[in-house]
A and B are shown apart, each in its own frame.
Chain A
C-alpha cells in the first residue's frame, strides 16, 4: 500500500492564480481531510469528507473548495491564491469517523504564494 499520497511536493504560485492539490489514498478509508500547518499554530482543518459525495467545512475553509467523487481521491482547489495561503498542506484519511480512529497523513505540499 502506498498509503496517502500528495502531489505536488512543492509549488510556487502568483497571487490570483488557481491550482489543485491532489490527494489519494489506497486504504479504502471513508474519512478524508485537508489541513494547513503554519508556524506556531498547529494544524487547522480546512475541509473534510465522510464519504464519496459528502464534504463539509472545517475551521478555515475560505478560499478553498473540495469535492469527493470517489473514495480514493480528495482534491483541494485554491480558487484565487493569496499570500495568506502560503503554508504546508496535509491530507489525511481514516477508517470512518475522524474522531476515533488514527489519521494517516500524507507527506505534505509546501505552497508559496508571491
Chain B
C-alpha cells in the first residue's frame, strides 16, 4: 500500500522569500516520488522526480526536493519565490515502478508582493 500526505493545504509567501512545501509518504517498497504543478485551469506539469538515484533532486524553475528515507519525506523547496510560482502543487508516490500513482491532496501556493 502507498499513501502521501501534504501537510499544508495553503502556503503564502512574499515574493523573493523561500518556499517550503511539505510532503510525507508511506510505501511498502522503494518509492518513486514526483512533484507536479498545476496552474489555474491547466493540466499538470512535472517539476521533478526521484527514482532511487541522487537524494537531492533538482527540477525546473529553480525548485528542488530532498528524499529523506528516515523521515519518509520529500519536501519541495525554492530559495526565492516568484509571482509566477503561484499555483497548486501535488506530491505523488508510486511503489516499485508500478502503474498506480497516488496523489496528495495538493498545496495551494500564494505569492504576495
Interface residues of A (CB under 8 A from B): 4, 31, 33, 35, 40-45, 48, 50, 56, 58-59, 90, 92, 97-100, 102-103, 105-108
The residue that B43 contacts in the complex, of A33, A40, A59, A90, with Cβ under 8 A, is: A90
The CA-CA distance from A31 to B98 in the complex, in Å, is: 11
Secondary structure type dominating chain B contacts? loop
A44 with B44, Cβ < 8 A, contacts A97-B97, A99-B95, A99-B96 known: no
- CB contacts under 8 Å to A, within B56-113, are 90, 94-101, 103-106
Nearest CB of B to A64, in Å: 16
Does B94 lie within 8 Å of A100, measured CB to CB? yes
Complex contacts, B97 vs chain A, CB 8 Å? 97, 99-100
Q: Are B99 and A98 touching (Cβ within 8 A)? A: yes
The answer to whether A105 and B44 have CB atoms under 8 Å apart is yes
* Bound-complex Cα distance A40 to B88 (A): 11
Between-chain CB contacts (< 8 Å), 17 pairs: A40-B105, A42-B103, A44-B103, A45-B101, A48-B99, A56-B99, A97-B98, A98-B98, A98-B99, A98-B100, A99-B96, A99-B98, A99-B100, A99-B101, A103-B46, A105-B43, A105-B45
Q: Which of B32, B36, B42 contacts A99 (CB 8 A)?
A: B32
State the total of A-B contacts with C-beta under 8 angstroms.
Answer: 65
Range class of the B interface residue count: 20 to 34
B residues bordering A, Cβ < 8 Å?
9, 32, 34, 36, 41-46, 49, 51, 90, 94-101, 103-106
Complex contact B99–A99 (CB within 8 A): yes
Cβ–Cβ < 8 Å partners of A108 in chain B:
41-43
State whether B101 touches A98 (Cβ < 8 A): yes
CB neighbours (8 Å) of B9 from chain A are: 40
Question: How far apart are A63's CB and chain B's nearest CB, in angstroms?
Answer: 19
Instruction: Find chain A residues with CB under 8 A from B96 CB.
Output: 99
